[in-house]
Amino acid sequence: MNKRLLITILFITVSLLLAAQTDNTTPRATKEKSKYDKMFGEVQYGDKIYKQGSNWLTFGLGVSYKLNYEPTYEKGLNRTAALAYHFRYKAMYFNVGWHFSGEYFFIERWYNANLKSRAMHQLNDFHAGAGLRFEDRWYNFAFFIGPAWAIAMIPNPDLPSGSIVKHTIGGHVEVQTTFKFLYDLGIGVSLFGSFNKYYQVLGVQGHFYFSSAYRMKY
């Protein structure tokens, strides 16, 4: 093979390899962060990165006191449960949730024959609200207030079931304090009130806190 031809082939091959390794793409401009992205930035703890101002879920159990209970037919002290989802839109926080207060839970009627014959006196409300939130590495504090759709089973001894179902509009208010043993997981205490024409309660719950703050490992 002619030496000149061999050198030409080698030169072209090397030139193509170098060209293939060269990044000729035009760099794209990154999207400018909004003021809310800057307000709720990312933080690093250990080898993990978290997003501030992230949404969270709470599940709680506790006790409540019925303010307008009838001593002849029912107890003032209730069992209570709640599930709520809290989210941020720009710089404002909102929540939607469900709350239960009653003399006993549904599951208790399954294994306690004495309860099956008792009238069910209880409140289920589905609520939405707006509120405030303050958080840091170890704590999350939140306050929410808003309307609720209440389904109340109230005493009525004239009926065979011993209770009557009422649907009405009411209000729900809650204050949460959470200790975060991880940035996105925690336990805490909630103080709440649910108010309507037929079934009004004040209560306290222990709750579990689950946040969507986790982003990635550093």
- 96-105: pLDDT as tens digits: 999 999 887 7
pLDDT number for residue 16: 47
**H/E element holding 140?**
strand 139-155
State mean pLDDT over 166-184: 95
Q: Is the pTM of this model over 0.95?
A: no
State mean pLDDT over 71-75: 66
- What is the spatial distance between Cα 156 and Cα 70, in angstroms, rounded to a whole number? 10
SS3 (DSSP) at 52:
coil
- Structural domain spans, the chain: 51-217
Radius of gyration of the chain (CA): 29
The DSSP output letter for 31 is P
Lowest mean pLDDT among 46-50, 51-55, 78-82: 46-50
> Given 3.40.190.10, 1.10.357.10, 2.40.160.20, 3.40.50.300, which CATH number is that of 51-217?
2.40.160.20
φ, ψ (nearest 5 deg) of residue 118: -85, 145
pLDDT number for residue 20: 41
Mean pLDDT in the chain? 82
Is it the case that residue 115 has pLDDT exceeding 90? no
Higher local confidence (pLDDT), 25 or 66 = 66
Is it the case that residue 170 has pLDDT exceeding 80? yes
Beta-ladder partners of 95: 86, 129
Largest CA-CA distance found in the chain, in angstroms, rounded: 114
**Are 42 and 190 a contacting pair, CB within 8 Å?**
no
**141-161: pLDDT as tens digits:** 999 999 999 999 887 767 666
Lowest mean pLDDT among 22-31, 132-141, 201-210: 22-31
State mean pLDDT over 111-126: 71
Beta-ladder partners of 153: 122, 165
Is it the case that residue 189 has pLDDT exceeding 90? yes
213 pLDDT band (50/70/90 cuts)? Answer: confident
State mean pLDDT over 204-211: 96
Give the percent of the chain with pLDDT over 90.
50
- What is the spatial distance between Cα 137 and Cα 52, in angstroms, rounded to a whole number? 10
State mean pLDDT over 61-77: 81
